[in-house]
Chain A
Amino acid sequence: MTVTEGREYTTWLAGLRTWAAHAADRPDAWRSAGAQGLLSLPVGSESGGAGAGYEATCRAMEAIAEETGESGLPFAMSAHLWACQDPLAAFGTAEQRTAYLGAAMSGELVGAFAATEYDAGSDLLSLRTAAKQSDSGSWSLNGTKMFVTNGPVADLFLVLARTGEGSPLGALSAFLVPRSAAGLTVGPDIEKSALPGAKLSTLHLDDVIVPAEACLGGAGSGFAVLMRAMRIERAFILAPVLGLMARALRQAVEHVRTREQGGGPLSSHDTIRARIVRMHLSLTTAREILYGTARQADAGTLDHARSSLTKLLVSREFGSFCDELSDVYGGYALLPETGVAQLTADAVASRYYSGTSDMQIKIIAEGLGL
């Protein structure tokens, strides 16, 4: 029996759903979620986590999104989990984990991964942020990062910087930089059409000095840290989408069963029925793929191609789902109370963050030996 099939987990998940429905929009949501053990789920017990694994965590993220109908909080938590906390647990020294991991799992510390730059886009290996080491061993960081999820609220930034010349494979390093570091400036919230509730900002580093111990995985390990973060994030960043789709499908069924048109409910029209069935197909396909991927990750066999395939497929199914959803509601889709336009914007955004769909296709093609 897997963790997610066990009585302890299913009981806990039911409690999480109740919490999400009533408390997830409160200012202390992070700490409250941490207190329930949500953020420690994927971390191994040897590091102080629950050791429940990736599938258990993704099912929790799906549940929160389904109960709240909001993409922001679970997306922000996913970014924290997969692109900051998970690399910290994987690469961190005992001292680094002592300093940050416990607080990250309890919700006292919000993490952000600062990798993307204005001129680099998805090509993170072209980044310009640089770190130079002094004779004493400390590092000085300079540069500007774009689209930092959780930036406005983050307490800890995992910053990717160039620490040498030549191929970026050997010239990148990752640094744990606290928000309180002198010279670190967080830009204002970036206004965006999608993912309301997930904060986004720029990050400026102006001669930010961090000790030698702030380097995660050692100098030159930045590529390995980046690949770890991307392999896990791409696989699971869209877990909340499953909950959003499930909620929207349930509401759409209710809508077509109760709204009359042409002498009967919309649900009696074959075209509407077919659209609802196609939405169900999209959700089922996305769910099966994502949880199959999570089980691979729990077994330690998840590779980059499968991770990218998951991101690509779930984002595509999300888009197809929203196309059908819009046609089910017709003109009502444009009314904010239906949530259709917001969900569609989220679907568009899902094609771009954590690497564009074109980037995922490139990785999948490599995996096929092309």
Chain B
Amino acid sequence: MTTQDTVLTTVRSAVQDVAPGIELTDDLPLIAERIIDSLSLLKVVTRLEHDLGVRIRDTEVLPRNFETITAIRAFLATKGH
């Protein structure tokens, strides 16, 4: 398994953790479909920071960075993960 796959696995796990019972796909619109709310978004951010050792700034908690699992993965790639 590559490093990239590990990061993607972590992202999927973090999102699934706040969306129990929902069948997720990487391109499912998490915000538009209201799968994640304000508190669960913060939980995802905290989980990613903890598990990946990445710092996500307040100015980066934007819808475009967290709209889908794919978007989250791409956002993390811009931070070197």
Is B32's CB within 8 Å of the partner chain A?
Answer: yes
**A166 and chain B: residue at smallest CB distance:** B32
Chain B residues with CB under 8 Å of A362's CB are 39
Contact A366 B42 (CB under 8 A): yes
**B60 and chain A: residue at smallest CB distance:** A224
Chain B residues with CB under 8 Å of A363's CB are 39, 42
Chain A residues with CB under 8 Å of B64's CB are 220
Count A-B contacts at CB 8 Å: 63
Contact A169 B46 (CB under 8 A): no
How far apart are the CA atoms of A170 and B66 in the complex, in Å? 10
Contact A305 B46 (CB under 8 A): yes
Number of interface residues of A (CB under 8 A): 25
Contact A170 B58 (CB under 8 A): no
How far apart are the CA atoms of A227 and B55 in the complex, in Å? 16
Known interface pairs A167-B32, A228-B58. Does A223 touch B63 (Cβ–Cβ under 8 Å)? Answer: yes
Chain B residues with CB under 8 Å of A217's CB are 59
Chain B residues with CB under 8 Å of A304's CB are 42, 46
Chain A residues with CB under 8 Å of B46's CB are 303-305, 367
Is A19's CB within 8 Å of the partner chain B?
Answer: no
Known interface pairs A166-B32, A169-B31, A170-B31. Does A224 touch B58 (Cβ–Cβ under 8 Å)? Answer: yes
When the two chains form the complex, which single residue of B31, B34, B59, B67 contacts A224, counting CB atoms closer than 8 Å?
Answer: B59
**A231 and chain B: residue at smallest CB distance:** B58
Min CB gap A252→B, angstroms: 40
How far apart are the CA atoms of A305 and B46 in the complex, in Å? 9
Most chain A CB atoms below 10 A, which of B43, B60, B64: B43
Closest 9 CB pairs of A and B: A170-B63, A228-B58, A224-B61, A167-B31, A169-B31, A167-B34, A170-B31, A366-B43, A366-B39
Binding site for B on A (CB under 8 A): 90-91, 125, 166-170, 217, 220-221, 223-224, 227-228, 231, 300, 303-305, 362-363, 366-367, 369
